[in-house]
């Protein structure tokens, strides 16, 4: 099942375009990785905020949709803690709570040393529509 969910998220073309890979996923949890290359930097030569957000957002999407119920982000709040250094960043999403209609997730972004560089809190709206993985 994990492989089928990972395959499904290969259809997330923006995440793929941003070099993001889903490593682990199950209902309520996901781990994603982004290898940092030249195109991830901003004009001030640090990893661009949108790249970090996109990494966190993919983990959020994977974790919150993995149970098969389509969940769309309503709101996401990201706090940047320090610049991402090194060659890889990872985002880990965990469910805080969910009911039939809404789901709340925390997503932490870590550098290669396991230091937290950003955190996101996301609120999703759960649709009736199902995903067939």
Binding residues for its own copies, per CB under 8 A? 8-18, 38-44, 47-51, 53-55, 57-58, 61, 65, 70, 72-82, 96-97, 99, 101-102, 104, 106, 116, 119, 121, 123, 125
Considering the complex, what minimum distance in angstroms separates the CB of residue 38 from its own copies? Answer: 6
45 CB burial (10 A radius; 0-12, 13-18, 19+): exposed
Smallest distance, its own copies to C-beta of residue 26, A: 17
Decide whether 97 or 114 has the Cβ nearer to its own copies.
97
Give dist(CA 110, CA 114) in Å, integer: 5
Specify the residue, 3 or 97, whose C-beta has the smaller distance to its own copies. 97
Residue 58: Cβ within 10 Å count: 26
Summarize the chain as % helix, strand, coil (round to 5): 25, 45, 30
The minimum distance between CB 56 and its own copies, in angstroms, equals 8
């Amino acid at each position: 099942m994990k492989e089928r969910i990972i395959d499904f998220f290969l259809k997330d073309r923006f995440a793929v375009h941003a070099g993001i890979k889903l490593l682990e996923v199950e209902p309520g949890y996901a781990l994603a990785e982004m290898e940092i290359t030249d195109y991830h930097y901003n004009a001030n030569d640090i990893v661009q905020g949108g790249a970090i957000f996109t990494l966190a957002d993919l983990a959020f999407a994977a974790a919150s949709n993995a149970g098969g119920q389509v969940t769309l982000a309503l709101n996401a709040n990201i706090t940047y803690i320090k610049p991402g250094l090194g060659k890889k960043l990872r985002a880990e999403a965990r469910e805080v709570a969910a009911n039939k209609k809404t789901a709340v997730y925390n997503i932490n972004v870590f550098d290669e040393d396991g230091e937290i560089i950003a955190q996101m809190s996301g609120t999703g709206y759960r649709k009736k529509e199902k995903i067939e993985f």
